[in-house]
Structure 1
Amino acid sequence: MIDPLRRDVLLHRGIFLLVALALIFLRLLPMGSTAGSLPGPDLLLCLTLAWLLRRPDYLPALLIALVFFAEDLLLMRPPGLWTALVLLGTEILRSRIALTRELSFVMEWLFIGLLMMGMFIGYRLAFTVTMLPQVGFGYAMTQVLASIAVYPVVVWLSHVTLGVHKPGMGEVDDMGRRL
């Protein structure tokens, strides 16, 4: 018999993996590829940061690394660069989980926005240092701003559809264990 808490964690890890694969598949579809169209938000990054901030036990570092490395390979980006930046950002967030637990949503949104901007700057800097061709700054910045703007929607949908919420101080599960 599996422990109910363990089953819940494994179930949410599986759900995250399925949603991540669906989002990667949607990015691979040739939709909206007309010249001059605006880039969409990085929903996978938003989902990862939202879930990690609410329930870090659902997303181990290895799962995040595997999902984003697969995304790097499938989207033909430099393998491991975006993965390393996302992993660095999520571990920074994970190390400050006790501090962010009691933040208001506006402050959380600001913190996530700054984290996304830092990851974007690191990605651009790595491309600049290695002299790789990159998309225009304005185009890439539009994607980051769209990701920051859509973050509240991702948080709301995660809470409403999957029940992924930030546990309060002293909140316990059905078995009496601290969350």
Structure 2
Amino acid sequence: MVDFWRSEHLVFRGLFVVIALVLLFLRLLPLGSAPGALPGPDLLLCMIMAWIVRRPDFLPMPLILVVILAEDLILMRPPGLWTAIVIIATEFLRSRIALTRELSFLVEWLLIAGVMLGMMLAYRLVLGIAFVPQPPFGFAIVQVLWSIAVYPVVVALSRLALDLRKPATGEVDSLGRRL
């Protein structure tokens, strides 16, 4: 419980919420909304994945849940479906943090790409089973491919601007606890 209130954690959690709100605001702006335009990447998902792989303690599950659920409600998606899929994916990655710490970036990128594709397919499968209208498959796959392509840029920006990196094996924090 004490870890939740550490100042470094609070700074990154607050920064995550601010960045998420800015990304959501930019997504709501009517920029480039011409019919037939290609969809952009899901930058918030890329940021969540990058931060979970690097420092899962900075993004607790309830914080991700609140941010993605708010995004669901504001973007008028089926409430909770995308949230549940994102939570399952992030907890899948969180449970494999010891493995991802040892992976090269290329293998990590392939893992994230597989997770993102799986998330999109699960979302479309549930919407299809419920007979909910959804955007064409090509639209969804282009958005996922854009997100996969932008993931290295998000990782680089997180590393350069925020010094967010994977902890080395055996690295400890200022209190001597393993990271």
Normalising by the residue count of structure 2, what TM-score does the alignment of the two structures yield?
0.96
2:70 aligned residue: 70
1:49 aligned residue: 49
Structure 2: distance between partners of 1:38 and 1:150: 15
Structure 1: distance between partners of 2:10 and 2:21: 17
How far 1:131 sits from its partner (Å)? Answer: 0.4
1:177 aligned residue: 177
Letter in 2 for 1:127: L
1:164 aligned residue: 164
Letter in 2 for 1:166: K
- Count matched residues: 177
1:121 aligned residue: 121
1:87 aligned residue: 87
Letter in 2 for 1:119: M
Residue 26 (1) aligns with residue 29 (2): no
Q: Secondary structure at the match of 2:168?
A: coil
Letter in 2 for 1:63: L
Structure 1: distance between partners of 2:117 and 2:143: 11
Letter in 2 for 1:14: G
Structure 1: distance between partners of 2:178 and 2:126: 41
C-alpha RMSD over aligned residues: 1.3
Residue 99 (1) aligns with residue 86 (2): no
Q: Structure 1: which 4+ aligned runs deviate by more than 3 Å?
A: none
Q: Secondary structure at the match of 2:102?
A: coil
Q: Secondary structure at the match of 2:174?
A: coil
How far 1:177 sits from its partner (Å)? Answer: 2.8
Q: Secondary structure at the match of 1:101?
A: helix
Structure 2: distance between partners of 1:162 and 1:175: 21
Structure 1: distance between partners of 2:106 and 2:23: 26
1:133 aligned residue: 133
Structure 2: distance between partners of 1:130 and 1:36: 26
Q: Percent identity?
A: 61
1:149 aligned residue: 149
Letter in 2 for 1:99: L
Q: Kindly provide the CA deviation profile for residues 127-170 of structure 1, in whole angstroms up to 9, marking residues without a partner as x.
A: 10000111110111000000000000000000110111100101
Q: Which runs of 5+ in 2 are unaligned?
A: none
How far 1:6 sits from its partner (Å)? Answer: 1.1
How far 1:35 sits from its partner (Å)? Answer: 1.2
Normalising by the residue count of structure 1, what TM-score does the alignment of the two structures yield?
0.96
Structure 2: distance between partners of 1:150 and 1:123: 21
Structure 1: distance between partners of 2:157 and 2:136: 31
Letter in 1 for 2:16: F
Structure 2: distance between partners of 1:141 and 1:100: 25
